[in-house]
Amino acid sequence: MTEKKRALITGITGQDGSYLSEFLLDKDYEVHGIIRRSSSFNTNRIDHIYQDPHNPHVSLFLHYGDLTDGTTIRRILEEVRPVEIYNLGAQSHVRVSFDSPEYTVDTVAMGALRLLEAIRDYQYRTGIEVRFYQAGSSEMFGKVQEVPQKETTPFYPRSPYSCAKVYAHWQTLNYRESYNLFACNGILFNHESPRRGETFVTRKITRAVARIVAGKQKKLYLGNLDSKRDWGYAKDYVRAMWMMLQQEQPDDYVIATNETHSIKEFLEIAFTHVNLNWQDYVEFDPRYLRPAEVDLLIGDCTKAKEKLGWQPSVTFTELVHLMVDSDIKALEKSNMVGSGFD
Ligand code: NAP
Ligand code: F7E
């Protein structure tokens, strides 16, 4: 019997980590994920694919670790011996990165470097190739220097988060060129789903719509409604990550839908879907403004289409509808309680 391919995922408990795990398990991979110790359960996005480790045919394994802890990362790499590593772990909230810049940079920038260093040593010592995916972000384009943005568009990051992602991007490229690592940067534009964190604007809106319909919420407080984003569906985007690591040569790719929409347009579609008018519910709260904003993002994913054969499968309107429908269903199933931290 041939051995299963082994993949290691940082950030397996996040939106993308959970979809990527499902995708790789479907492809018959053995999937290993790094999870953080938490005082409350943080595995709800992967509970449905969790397997009892006592089962001899188990193919999903979880390891305690943290991107700020290089020793543990090295130990996990030695134990797991993966052929592919997907670095999805991050303090990924742009607004929060202004409040916690050092921690964000430690996780996002230094975390990527710790992984690259561990892979470099492991590969040098064992001669085994480890393919590396770095979760780059359209936030790196920040104050955009070109419309639409593609792989060659200069970066102009506007937050601690995106400065850290730019560092991780260049280190990934640097390790590829210096040590011949098979290391790829995905430059992914915003991608959403019913599993999106509740404090990102899309999910905050769709969750509020569900709660308003159910009579559990009266108002929705938001910040800047004029910024524009290129929003896609997370399931489509994790497929692109895997495709990058299956190519003959490592490279960097923009993954996007080539469309841009404002927060107002998102609100319009989400509220109209349940026959409500968003202007009756949305209030401005300056708390949600950022010290520096990214006004417009729109990606050009021609390279990914031509070289990977990748393309998105869900339209903007379908995405908004599927998120609203999912939150309505989830609320019907359980009594959702607002956390207050949004
Ligand atoms: P997410 O839902 O916020 O998930 C982040 C993951 O990272 C979670 O599993 C989290 O663990 C983990 N994590 C946080 N700090 C960590 C640390 N110090 N050590 C180890 N793990 C840590 O993010 P996502 O939306 O799935 O995004 C995945 C990756 O793509 C991130 O790197 C993000 O920056 C990047 N990205 C996202 C988008 C997007 O639109 N979604 C676009 C471009 C790039 P807990 O569950 O314990 O918090
Ligand atoms: O904000 C505006 C906010 O937090 C989108 C992360 O996954 O995608 C994400 O970063 C826009 C911004 O996502 C609220 O000012 C208004 O203009 O949903 P967001 P983001 O900052 O684009 C990129 C690609 C990543 O890499 C990141 O990891 O919405 N906005 N009012 C608001 N945003 C939030 N969160 N909350 C509000 O109340």
Q: Is the minimum distance from the CB of 36 to ligand 1 under 6 angstroms?
A: yes
Active-site entry in 161, 167, 233, 253 = 161
Round the average pLDDT of the chain to a whole number and report it.
96
Q: Which domains does the chain have, with CATH numbers?
A: 6-195+232-258+297-313 (3.40.50.720)
List, in order, residues 6 or more apart from 22 with CB less than 8 Å away: 49
Per residue in 172-227, pLDDT (tens digit) is 999 999 999 999 999 999 999 999 999 999 999 999 999 999 999 999 999 999 99
Residue 339: band (very low, low, confident or very high) from pLDDT cuts 50, 70, 90 = very low
Q: Is 288 a catalytic residue?
A: no
Q: Which residues pair with 284 in a beta bridge?
A: 222
Active-site entry in 137, 138, 159, 162 = 137
Q: Is the minimum distance from the CB of 36 to ligand 2 under 6 angstroms?
A: no
CB of 172 closer than 8 Å to CB of 116: yes
Active-site entry in 21, 86, 138, 139 = 139
What is the whole-number distance in angstroms between the Cα of residue 214 and the centre of ligand 1?
Answer: 30
Q: Is the pTM of the predicted complex or chain greater than 0.95? A: yes
Per residue in 121-144, pLDDT (tens digit) is 999 999 999 999 999 999 999 999
Q: Is 161 a catalytic residue?
A: yes
Nearest CA to ligand 2 atom 19: 200
Please report how the helices 15-26 and 234-245 are oriented relative to each other, as an axis angle in degrees rounded to 10. Answer: 60
CB of 109 closer than 8 Å to CB of 167: yes
How many Å apart are CA 138 and CA 155, to the nearest integer?
9
CB of 226 closer than 8 Å to CB of 295: yes
Q: Is the minimum distance from the CB of 188 to ligand 1 under 6 angstroms?
A: yes
How many Å apart are CA 143 and CA 36, to the nearest integer?
33
